[in-house]
Amino acid sequence: MIFNRRFGSLGRLLSKDSSKPKKLLIFQSLLNGEDISLNICSFEEVLPYSILSNPISTISTHDNIWIAAAMLARISDATNNLVVVEDGFPIGTIDAKQIVSGLQKNPTAKYFEKSVSKIMSPDFYIDSRNVNISSILKRMNKTKNFFTVIENDKANFSQFSIKQILEVGSLCRSDITVSDIPGRKIRTFDRDERINDVIRRLENEPIGLLALKDDIAFISYEVLLEKIKELNTPQNDKIFDLSASTLKTITPTLISEKLSLAEICKVMLSLRYPYVMTQDQIITPEDIVELMCKGI
């Protein structure tokens, strides 16, 4: 089943002229106060120090997967990744998808007792705070990995993830609006399906989102991780046999179609799950990254 994120207005989409000039993203430089376009911005020129220095959320290789699951569920409104550190240096990252997918492959209580190093991704990025923001956004848009570690010095690291991306978007001046966001399709699930079947379908969704059939509600890996945390014990490995009706769903916040990119980002920043919608369109953080890349 397919859920179309643009319920109507297909004519508007099909009639868009690809030859239209770029809608640039303009910022006021924090270094000299001058207007500057995103394609030549560094982190320090756009983000206030308090945001740029947002520390990474770390976990040790000595910690187990259950600790990682509990931590991610608790801080999901601040970051979408934990950084695994060894001797004070990042060696990998863990997100909700890795934990849920790992549990599906090994649905036993012993899975949660394993070291986080067993499921972490060693393939992640460490960037300098002097790097051009546009290069990171382009990479994120291509790889769909919306997290990078920023190295401030040899022993000090911060993060740049969904929340910081939205912070950047909220500071821009641009005539980009909701109507510039292309339509996309999202698969659906039924309430009476087993969670195991829902996860299988979710794994085939690049944006990690499924729509509840005949409803305006969604689930993500973060929702599944919260369900695992709700069971409150690593010994409870029956989550996959539960009905999808037991899952809490995400209801996107309704916004006006006239909102600018900056206004959309400000709304998303206020939400635990940064998903918004108009009467005929769902907007995700992935859409924001794609839009910002069009303005570079």
Residues in the chain: 296
Name the CATH superfamily for 178-284: CBS-domain (3.10.580.10)
Give the pLDDT of residue 62: 94
Residue 138 phi/psi, 5-degree rounding, is -65, -40
Does the pLDDT at position 17 exceed 50?
Answer: no
Which residue, among 2, 7, 10, has the nearest Cα to 186 in the 3D structure? 2
Cβ partners under 8 Å of residue 190, min gap 6: 213, 244
Task: For residues 43-48, give the mean pLDDT.
Answer: 85
* pLDDT tens sequence across 165-212: 999 999 999 888 888 887 778 889 999 999 989 998 998 888 889 999
How many whole angstroms from its chain centre is CA 203? Answer: 15
pTM: predicted TM-score of the whole model, two decimal places: 0.85
**234 vs 272, residue with greater confidence:** 272
Give how far Cα 102 sits from Cα of 69, 108, 211, 231, Å.
11, 10, 23, 17
**pLDDT-wise least confident of 2-16, 82-96, 121-135, 140-154:** 2-16
* pLDDT tens sequence across 120-149: 999 999 998 888 999 999 999 999 999 999
For 1-24, letters b (16+ CB in 10 Å) and e give eebebbeeeeeeeeeeeeeeeeeb
Residue ranges per structural domain of the chain: 26-171, 178-284
Give the pLDDT of residue 239: 80
* pLDDT tens sequence across 214-271: 898 999 999 999 988 887 666 556 788 889 999 999 999 999 988 999 999 999 999 9
What is the fold, at CATH topology level, of the domain defined by 26-171?
CBS-domain (3.10.580)
Same fold, 26-171 and 178-284: yes
